[in-house]
Structure 1
């Protein structure tokens, strides 16, 4: 068993939001990644794909996701399952949002036309 204290979380800030790693291979030696996402209103992350399924649960606010051309809006308490390799863009609606997200450790992200897939630091 591994205990990860709140003071041991890892924070990564990008133009699209703030990701706080709660557990990952480099933080708790786990095969799953778990992180909190905070996005301000009307701020959109990049268009990208992930090579693994992700599960997003909205804690506060409103999340808007464009998933392969279909817009979904999730509010507090809603859960969105994003299938592997689906093109996505996540945007903060209304007051923005806070969500908890999980995915397999080592999941790789790629932007359209990008040659290289990367493991985002909050999943590593």
Structure 2
């Protein structure tokens, strides 16, 4: 058996009222219509709907006076919160507010003028807790030659970053040879520099200070700085991973490849 389409047939007292409700609030379109009958469709995967007036002779005698009581028309959608806001603003009769079930189903309900319950459903993102339980509790990063960036002024070795397992932070080491001076620049995120060897001379917003091994310097975001090494020096740097660099007098910003 191959099912090509699905149609839900509803027997209601007022075909026009249900037709207008479904077309106005849920985007259905009339495919065919006649007195006491309407066939509705959408251009996506929603089930087609046929509305039949109660008592119509098209139905077998034992079905003519039955109505769609107890039936729920459930439509799985995306953007459930936005749909609930839109429908409330449009005055749709929301008869069960938005809720989330323990098994991950998020839903709310409306009731049309004939008592047909329409339920909009969205499934919460899976927790994957079981998968997480199988992952190691912590990541160990071992730098390789591919994580090293050499510039004319310094050598950066990437440690933690989104490309190497972290979610929010990037860390790297900086090695500067004696006499090296980095370019004047600013970074869009706060940086924390801990000098691990030698002494760095840091000029930030026109103020110059020396930071020796064992000391930590906090550089605020978007402040112009320049770093100079009188002697060979090394430092460990950390910042939020989305930080980018800007150079005075130039347009745009530049990513820090060792932080990605």
Task: Compute the TM-score of the two structures, normalised by the length of structure 1.
Answer: 0.93
Q: Which runs of 5+ in 1 are unaligned?
A: none
Query: Residue 201 of structure 2 contacts residue 229 of structure 2 at CA under 8 Å; is this kept in 1?
Result: yes
Query: Residue 23 of structure 1 contacts residue 32 of structure 1 at CA under 8 Å; is this kept in 2?
Result: yes
1:114 to 2:250 alignment:
yes
Once the two structures are TM-superposed, the CA of residue 6 in structure 1 deviates from its matched residue by 3.9
Partner of 2:188: 51
Once the two structures are TM-superposed, the CA of residue 9 in structure 1 deviates from its matched residue by 6.6
Query: Residue 23 of structure 1 contacts residue 30 of structure 1 at CA under 8 Å; is this kept in 2?
Result: no
Q: Could you tell me how far apart the structure 2 residues matched to 1:110 and 1:36 are? A: 20
Once the two structures are TM-superposed, the CA of residue 4 in structure 1 deviates from its matched residue by 1.2
State the Cα RMSD in Å: 1.3
Paired residues, what number?
123
Query: Residue 143 of structure 2 contacts residue 157 of structure 2 at CA under 8 Å; is this kept in 1?
Result: no
Matches within 5 A, 1:4-83: 4-7=141-144, 10-83=147-220
Higher relative contact order (CA 8 A, sep 6+): 1
Query: Which protein is richer in helix relative to its size?
Result: 2
> Secondary structure of the residue that 2:184 maps to in structure 1?
coil
Q: Could you tell me how far apart the structure 2 residues matched to 1:70 and 1:14 are? A: 25
Query: Which protein is richer in strand relative to its size?
Result: 1
Larger radius of gyration: 2
Could you list the per-position Cα deviations for residues 35-73 of structure 1 after superposition, in whole angstroms to 9, with x for gaps in the alignment?
000001111011000011000000000001110100010
Once the two structures are TM-superposed, the CA of residue 81 in structure 1 deviates from its matched residue by 0.4
Partner of 2:68: none
> Secondary structure of the residue that 1:23 maps to in structure 2?
coil
> Secondary structure of the residue that 1:20 maps to in structure 2?
strand
